[in-house]
Structure 1
Amino acid sequence: MKKQMLLAAMSLAILSAYAGAAPTDKAADVPLKPAAQQTQAAVWASRVLSRYHYKATPLDDAMSEKIFDRYFKSLDAEKLFFVQADLDKYADAKQKLDDAIVGENLQLPFNIYNLYQQRFAERIAYARELLKSKPDFTLDESYQYDREKAEWPKDETEVKDLWRKRVKNDWLRLKLAGKDDKAIRDMLDKRYANYMSRSRKLNNEDVFQIFMNAYAMSIEPHTNYLGPRASEQFDIQMRLSLEGIGAVLQTREDYTVIREVVAGSPAGMSGKIKVGDRIMGVGQGSTGPFTDVLGWRIDDVVALIRGPKDSTVRLQMLPADAGPDGKPVTIALVRKKISMEEQSAKKTIMEVRDGTVKRRVGVISLPTFYMDFEARRKGEKDFKSATRDVARLLAELKKEKVDNVLIDLRNNGGGSLTEAVELTGLFIDRGPVVQQRSAEGKVEVENDTVPGLAWDGPVGVLINRGSASASEIFAAAMQDYGRGIIIGEPSFGKGTVQTLINLDRFGQGDKARLGELKMTIAQFFRINGGTTQLRGVTPDIKLPTIADAENFGESSYDNALPYTVIKPAVYIPAGEVKDIVPLLEKKHQARVAKDKDFQYLVDDINYVKKQRKENMISLNETARRKERDQQEARAKLREARLAAAPSPDDPILVPDPKEGLKQAVSPKPASAKAARQAAAVKGASRTDDGLQGDERSLAAELEAEKAAKNAKDVLLNEAVHILADEVGLLKTDTRLASRVLPYTSDR
């Protein structure tokens, strides 16, 4: 079975792992060099990309110039390290990167990277030097905090001024949070030293992957090179399982720390591993020597901890409550298969009062369209599958007599094409779901061939800008069939299909580790002939738009494929949802106009959009204190609202008799940029503490995450209200019900 993926920016969060590159640290003064297998991987990747990509593009001088520009931007996205003179120095290389790949000599891109490391060290050293003198916060000057679209600094004077302002902003944030000058100096010096420490841990596998992605993404945004370890991580994310101990790890300073222990896993069952414990050493088997992992990259530590099922790994642990000189304890664990249940589909039931009656809406949250390809290929009966999980949840919701079902696809970046088709099949009685067009122009229709439905009642789909690819196929099909109401903001706009190509098939020797290409091979189209490319799926009922379309989504890419249309497939709509949308829209608008929480959210979104547009922050203490006071006033309003009794109109979460009361959880953002944008809105009413994530205590960080997880989800609540309204309208108007729900008209 082909691994056909439809991904925008699939999250690679895992159990006991971090998706990094290859192992080993390096000395700061040792220039990195390419490995022989990397030059081999590059040349084979170029042959595949230039011949078999959907947008096959020759690797020539024109492509070399694109790679050059993208490579420099990949290394220094915020334009804080290189100056224009550095790019000018390599001007002759602009048309030679193609020759470097074809000629199997990658020293040129590595030389560019080594210059980057040199500049990085210089800038950090300068930043630390600036800490010796206190900034003048009476000056009227500003700092541009997002420099992705800025020009390169023209010389050393300009780049030093940028860093002066950056350090000044870091200092001012901590000062406003109540820190004194000594504490600020110590904290920032440690922060900048950590930047340098992390930079020194990058190795030639990292550099090669950055360079190859500069090449791949110069062809088209969703084509990527995955190094051996990243490729393994991708497979783990798709099958939602791995063989390990069941602990989520995190780097804090030089320690690898236990961030979460998975219930029922070897780590959890042992009862000996606690959140906050630090891993000092890892030993293989019952008697193997321990490897000291203090100061290691987290992915290197993970590589030691993972291993074959039923094998033994021993950990030397420093307990969370022990000091640096505390006595480590040794814990032996037998590795098992760990299921990543947090990334699986989940259900909740929310109850809404409608006059004297209650409407029950089942909410299914689906973070990705996952599938264990290998297990399915082998014919295993219980292989992991998003569709299977959702079908099971729908059966449970039927038994619990819900009136409507909401599929929450917010920030679902995609996954398996097969899963997108089969999931749609749970709601329609056979028919085309999506069309694919190959590079040769051949159009194939992917059909749901399974008769019957898992759910024949009303259904809604909740999307946002982070809903991409497979999510868009499902939402578009539900919309084209008139089967469900699409609620939210316009989706990502990715209309391309990728497949994985293992480069080891071309390698020399049995132990070749060349990595994989995730390569675009087709474009998908809606059954109505349109495409989600660039435009995404437009909701039937729109909710406030949080994302910045200029910087996040398909339309933000400079080389995205164009929007186009093809001939519609032959299909019969399942219902006329459009007949009920105006009625629901009217109720929605009337309700949100009176909903304080909804209006607060709109206010916060507008505030963040204004900040994004301005892209400047004052470095004057008086002005910043005024801004902070305004933020604190906003925060107090929000806190007062949260402290008040909940509105009787709010949906109520129905307790699960098996698990007790739980809060509905939204998927995590699909990419770093999406995460930043979501965090910006959530943090719009909070006071800045000036700290970075790993500078807060682990307990405080976990508590903040828990609070955010359990916070009121205003958009989900409104979507549930809309579906409850739909139930009320359908129950009181049989003619409308027969048009909207033909599957149930004869019941």
Structure 2
Amino acid sequence: MEKIIEFMKRNYKVVLIIAALSAVLWSFMPTKKVADEDKDKVLLELLSFVLEKGHYAPIEINDDFSKKAYAAYIASIDPTKRYFTQQDINEFSKYELRIDDIVKDKDLTFFDLTYNRLMKRMAESKTIYTNLLAKPMDFNADETLNVDYEKLPYAANEVELQNRWKKILKLTLLSTITDKEKLEEEKKSKEANYQVVPFSKLEEEARKSTKNNLDNNYSFIAELTREDWFSMFLNAIVTQYDPHTFYFSPEDKDKFDVSMSGKFEGIGARLSKKNDAVEIVELISGGPAWRGKQLEAGDVILKVAQGNDEPVDISGMRLDDVIKKIKGPKGTIVKLTVKKVDGTIKVITITRDEVETEETFAKSAVVEKNGKKFGIIYLPKFYISFENKQKRDAYKDVAQEIERLKEARVEGIIVDLRDNGGGSLETVVKMVGLFIEKGPVVQVKAAGRKPEVLPDPDPQVQWTGPLVVMVNNYSASASEIFAAAIQDYKRGIIIGSKQTYGKGTVQNVFELNQFLRTNKFGDLGALKATTQKFYRINGGSTQLEGVKSDIVVPDRFAFIETGERDEKNAMAWDKIEPAPYAPVTTGFDLQIAKSRNRIASNTQFKLIEENAKWINDRKEDNIVHLRYSDYKQEMADLDKQTTKFKAIQEYKNGLVFNSLPYEQELFKTDDLLKLKRERWHDDMQKDIYVEESLNVLNDLTVKDLKDMVKNNKKRKTKEITAVK
């Protein structure tokens, strides 16, 4: 809501136009319970109007738009082309250039046709794989399968579709059988008298496990409602505006809110659907279920009761519906009837509470290298609670971690933003302020308006020492704002992939029910729409181009196209006038040069680069042999080629990472948190990128940084004198 309010303040003209929508739709107030079709039509009207008036770069809904939306929709509901035949596609194709008319006329004929056909084809496909897996397969036929489904044509008819399913299943079985054979060989090597399981038995086991996996998958698909599939249709339409404009169904909006805030109210357990049963997968550390010590992973939930109400049997119920029954307001009681791992049946009473999804939050560790102590802060996203700003957010958490690291007397800090997909704009602006004196951080521009500079107004700097920021191809949005500001101010060194993701747009979330006076439609969900673009303080956009690292480290996927530039509907790159700002230092040329020389001579980095080129060379190799002897040979050749690259996974840097004292105290009562931190530390011990980042910090001493700041201030003084 805060982002919406912020958007309204800055974009009052757009808001006035969107508000007019309320007047239009408020006149539509049905007096009886609406059917799904009525709700679907209102959604089509509402989304198209909001996008037309509120999107940063609205596009014309015409035949070209229709063609793209049609292709996106068909691909989303049958991505591997294992359901529809070419005959189906021929029937659908008459709507290919009519999506624009469908939106304008709110016509559901095309959706109903594809939805009903998909349900029919899925039911048929379950019969197909069940029949095929009921008897042994012939692995002697000389057959191949093209696994590049995007370029694969649709099966011409039902007979050809069955043959495609047969090939897909053969590939799955071959993979499972050969994996089982390796295990048998290992057992034989350890025990001379071990009787190796014959191929026929392994093949039978593979068919059984494959069928179980497919049954579980189809059980999950069967839980999807018509509303879920209609959401896919809507998103095929709205994502034509840009990849980050997205419609959230009510359930998806709840999940989005949890992911952004890192918090929800419930019992703190992760659930999974297995056949008709709902099983506890994990207890979230610190949550009420974890604190109660009665539930454990592997327990199966049989019934759910609210307080003293009668318990409800949840067998066969959709997982989302079970979750809704278990979640609830803080302080309320839920009673679970569970079948324990040991087979006993117990009724467990839990008082719901606020649960923090700990993996979402910032965490830190300390490490010693060359007699110096350094700190590393890992931030998975720029989280915030929009509803309650008193709750924890990424800015406050990182500030606290910096204070803890200062107490530990570290000489440099790494901020690890790898795989950080972004989050709150407000939060990242504040976070940059932890490392710079007051000044501009990022520029934000709405359509048809002048750019607005978002500054850090606070002159206080929380960390003045050496700083390295780690990024990769999947560091996006707010991560790129942070990295760009640190780079433009020359406050720290950016190390990582050649460039970051390249998302230079800002989205706002609109609760769709705010535009209606009636609630006869129930919860309509929300629209996340691109309303602004952001620019670096140097004027350049991060859109498509991302932030280029000061130090580029070899990346196994360096030659694979990833990021915004790989999106079909990505918005264009551009630039605006720079904001007035002054770099903190004279730069890091010496440290960057040292690191580049180390990387160039490092055998492990050379191996990673060689692996990247090998992956690139093989990316077009999509034909797999389905004859057992050919497949075995193919896998053997592949293993031989990849043997040298196993050293990448086996690498250890020899560093020892430790949690800060406050966490070590928590470990005494929280075994799960201790295990999670040990896994994180273990991962960093295998991470050559963390090692090189520490090398850079080691090169960048406090004295060096102070000298660079001092020299920069002298340079600025000379420039001012010269101007006078």
TM-superposed CA distance for 1:308, in Å, is 1.2
Report the Cα distance in structure 2 between the residues aligned to 1:505 and 1:641, rounded to whole angstroms.
52
* Letter of the 1:214 counterpart: A
Verify the 8 A CA contact 1:5 1:497 in the aligned structure 2.
no
Q: Could you list the per-position Cα deviations for residues 276-312 of structure 1 after superposition, in whole angstroms to 9, with x for gaps in the alignment?
A: 1111111111x21222222333222111101111111
Normalising by structure 2, report the TM-score: 0.84
Report the Cα distance in structure 2 between the residues aligned to 1:288 and 1:741, rounded to whole angstroms.
71
* Letter of the 2:356 counterpart: S
Residue 206 (1) aligns with residue 228 (2): yes
* Letter of the 2:150 counterpart: E
Give the direction of change, closer, same or farther, for the CA distance of 1:2–1:60 in structure 2 (3 Å limit): farther
One of 508, 513, 527 as aligned partner of 1:517:
527
Give the direction of change, closer, same or farther, for the CA distance of 1:641–1:619 in structure 2 (3 Å limit): same
Give the direction of change, closer, same or farther, for the CA distance of 1:76–1:740 in structure 2 (3 Å limit): farther
One of 362, 370, 395 as aligned partner of 1:345:
362
TM-superposed CA distance for 1:738, in Å, is 4.2
Report the Cα distance in structure 2 between the residues aligned to 1:640 and 1:50, rounded to whole angstroms.
53
Report the Cα distance in structure 1 between the residues aligned to 2:314 and 2:612, rounded to whole angstroms.
43
Partner of 1:145: 147
Q: Could you list the per-position Cα deviations for residues 660-712 of structure 1 after superposition, in whole angstroms to 9, with x for gaps in the alignment?
A: 4999xxxxxxxxxxxxxxxxxxxxxxxxxxxxxxxxxxxxxxx9999798344
Report the Cα distance in structure 2 between the residues aligned to 1:221 and 1:734, rounded to whole angstroms.
43
Verify the 8 A CA contact 2:659 2:677 in the aligned structure 1.
no
State which drifts further: 67-76 or 630-639: 630-639
Give the direction of change, closer, same or farther, for the CA distance of 1:171–1:466 in structure 2 (3 Å limit): same
Report the Cα distance in structure 2 between the residues aligned to 1:719 and 1:375, rounded to whole angstroms.
39
Partner of 2:3: 3
Q: Could you list the per-position Cα deviations for residues 54-109 of structure 1 after superposition, in whole angstroms to 9, with x for gaps in the alignment?
A: 11124344433322221111111222222332222022222433333333442431
Partner of 1:274: 296
Report the Cα distance in structure 2 between the residues aligned to 1:473 and 1:278, rounded to whole angstroms.
44
Verify the 8 A CA contact 1:50 1:59 in the aligned structure 2.
no
Verify the 8 A CA contact 1:240 1:339 in the aligned structure 2.
yes
Partner of 2:10: none
Residue 621 (1) aligns with residue 642 (2): no
Give the direction of change, closer, same or farther, for the CA distance of 1:735–1:374 in structure 2 (3 Å limit): closer
* Letter of the 1:620 counterpart: R
Report the Cα distance in structure 1 between the residues aligned to 2:519 and 2:134, rounded to whole angstroms.
56
State which drifts further: 404-413 or 296-305: 296-305
Aligned pairs (5 A) from 1:46-61: 46-61=48-63
2:240 partner SS: helix
Give the direction of change, closer, same or farther, for the CA distance of 1:182–1:215 in structure 2 (3 Å limit): same
Aligned pairs (5 A) from 1:49-448: 49-178=51-180, 180-285=202-307, 287-322=308-343, 327-353=344-370, 358-376=371-389, 382-448=390-456
TM-superposed CA distance for 1:734, in Å, is 7.2
TM-superposed CA distance for 1:203, in Å, is 0.5
Partner of 2:663: 659
* Letter of the 1:36 counterpart: D
Partner of 2:38: 36
Report the Cα distance in structure 1 between the residues aligned to 2:680 and 2:580, rounded to whole angstroms.
45
Stretches of structure 2 lacking an aligned partner (at least 5 in a row)? 7-34, 181-200, 668-674, 716-724
Report the Cα distance in structure 1 between the residues aligned to 2:614 and 2:665, rounded to whole angstroms.
34
Query: Structure 1 vs Structure 2: percent identity of aligned residues?
Result: 32
Normalising by structure 1, report the TM-score: 0.81
Report the Cα distance in structure 2 between the residues aligned to 1:435 and 1:643, rounded to whole angstroms.
43
Verify the 8 A CA contact 1:352 1:724 in the aligned structure 2.
no
Q: Could you list the per-position Cα deviations for residues 597-640 of structure 1 after superposition, in whole angstroms to 9, with x for gaps in the alignment?
A: x5554455455444433233332323433454466678987889
TM-superposed CA distance for 1:49, in Å, is 0.7
2:325 partner SS: helix
1:115 partner SS: helix
Report the Cα distance in structure 1 between the residues aligned to 2:351 and 2:324, rounded to whole angstroms.
15
Verify the 8 A CA contact 1:651 1:720 in the aligned structure 2.
no
Report the Cα distance in structure 2 between the residues aligned to 1:718 and 1:662, rounded to whole angstroms.
27
Report the Cα distance in structure 1 between the residues aligned to 2:247 and 2:695, rounded to whole angstroms.
42
One of 490, 500, 512 as aligned partner of 1:503:
512
Aligned length: 658
Report the Cα distance in structure 2 between the residues aligned to 1:709 and 1:112, rounded to whole angstroms.
49
State which drifts further: 607-616 or 248-257: 607-616
Verify the 8 A CA contact 2:69 2:236 in the aligned structure 1.
yes
TM-superposed CA distance for 1:43, in Å, is 0.9
Stretches of structure 1 lacking an aligned partner (at least 5 in a row)? 7-32, 377-381, 664-702
Q: Could you list the per-position Cα deviations for residues 443-492 of structure 1 after superposition, in whole angstroms to 9, with x for gaps in the alignment?
A: 11111111111111111111111111011111111111111111111211
Verify the 8 A CA contact 1:351 1:654 in the aligned structure 2.
no
Aligned pairs (5 A) from 1:489-638: 489=497, 490-510=499-519, 512-547=522-557, 552-589=562-599, 592-593=602-603, 595=604, 598=605, 601-602=608-609, 604-629=611-636
1:466 partner SS: coil
TM-superposed CA distance for 1:112, in Å, is 0.9
Verify the 8 A CA contact 2:242 2:569 in the aligned structure 1.
yes
One of 480, 483, 487 as aligned partner of 1:472:
480
Verify the 8 A CA contact 1:110 1:207 in the aligned structure 2.
no
Q: Select the structure that is richer in helix.
A: 2
Report the Cα distance in structure 2 between the residues aligned to 1:584 and 1:368, rounded to whole angstroms.
31
TM-superposed CA distance for 1:328, in Å, is 2.1
Structure number with greater Rg is 2
Report the Cα distance in structure 2 between the residues aligned to 1:740 and 1:622, rounded to whole angstroms.
68
Verify the 8 A CA contact 2:143 2:626 in the aligned structure 1.
yes
Give the direction of change, closer, same or farther, for the CA distance of 1:493–1:85 in structure 2 (3 Å limit): same
Identify the structure with bigger relative contact order (alpha carbons < 8 Å, sequence gap 6+): 1
Partner of 2:491: 483
